[in-house]
Amino acid sequence: MTEPLRLGLIGDNIAASQSPRLHRLAGRQNGCPVTYDSLIPALEGLDFDALFARCAVSGYRGINVTYPYKERVTEKLRIDDPLVRAMGAVNTVLFDADGPRGFNTDYSGFVAAYRSVRGTAAPGPVLMIGAGGVGRAIAFGLIALGATEIRLADRDLARADALARSLRQAQPGVTVLTGTDAAAMADGADGLVNGTPIGMVGYDGTPLPAPLMQGAAWAFDAVYTPVQTQFLSDAAAAGLQIISGYELFVGQGVDAWALFTGLPLDEARLRADLAAGRDAE
C-alpha cells in the first residue's frame, strides 16, 4: 500500500489524544503511511454534522468518534451489528462506496481490558457513572462479562433511564437501577466505573469521593489522558484492583485498525512503541 491511508478523530478536547500515534505506528508495522487528523469542530469552524459530511467526501477511509458525539453520529450510519444498534453509540466509522458504516470498538476494548486484569471473575454489582457514549458501550460490556446488577448514575436521568431500557431489553434478567447521585448509589458496589470525562486533561477532579470507594473490589476509568487519574489513584489507595483506561484505548485502537485496514498488527510491538514515545514520522 503506497498511497497514504487517511484516518481521523472527531471530538472535543482531543489535543492530548494518542490515537494519531497509535494508528501511524500501526501503519509503520505494515509499510503503510497513515495520516490521522485531529478534527475538533470548534477549531474547524464547523458543527459536528458539517464536519462529518466533509469527512465523508474528503478521501477518509474512516474516522474514530469520541466525546461528545458517539451517540449523535449513529443517525448518519448503517449499523449492521444488532448489538451496536442496541447500544446506540459508535466510535468507529468506515466510509464505503455504499455509505458510512458504524462500529463500536469501545465495547470490545473494555471487555478485553477487564479480562486482562480480572480474568473470569464476575463483575458483581457495578456502579457506572456516566450513561453517555462510552458508558453505553461499557454497560453492554458488563452484561457480556456476566454482571447481574448495574447502577447507572448520570446527571441526566432521562439518559440513564434510556440506557437502562436498552440493557433490560438486551438482557431481561439484569437488574438496572438509575439515579443522578453517584455517591448515593455507591454502597455495596463491587465495581466502580467512570464513564464520564471527569479526570481527563481539561476536566480535573473525580466523579466519586474517595471515602465511598471503601469495600469495592475493582475500578475502571475510561479516561486515559492522563493514564493515572485521581479516580484510579483513590481506588488504588482503597485497595481496589485497577483497570486503566489506557487498556481500553489500546484495545479499541487495535480493533479499529483491523476494521480500517484488515492488516495484521503485532500488539506487543505497538505497546512498546507507544510506551517508548515513538512515532512513525
Q: How far apart are CA 7 and CA 37, in angstroms?
A: 6
The three-state (H, E, C) secondary structure of 34-80, written as one string:
EEEEEECHHHHCCCHHHHHHHHHCCCCCEEEECCCCCCHHHHHCECC
C-alpha cell at 81: 451489528
Q: Is 249 helix (H, G, I), strand (E, B) or coil?
A: helix
Q: How far apart are CA 52 and CA 126, in angstroms?
A: 35
Candidates 36, 69, 114, 246; catalytic one: 69
Q: How far apart are CA 258 and CA 134, in angstroms?
A: 20
Q: How far apart are CA 275 and CA 278, in angstroms?
A: 8
Report which of 106, 68, 100, 101 is spatially closest to residue 87, judged by C-alpha positions: 106
Report which of 105, 109, 107, 150 is spatially closest to residue 130, judged by C-alpha positions: 150
67 is catalytic: no
178, burial (CB in 10 Å: exposed 0-12, middle 13-18, buried 19+): buried
Report which of 241, 10, 270, 281 is spatially closest to residue 119, judged by C-alpha positions: 241
Q: What is the C-alpha radius of gyration for the chain, rounded to an integer number of angstroms?
A: 18
C-alpha cell at 100: 458510512
What element of type H or E holds 230? helix 230-237
Q: How far apart are CA 136 and CA 70, in angstroms?
A: 10
List residues with catalytic annotation.
69
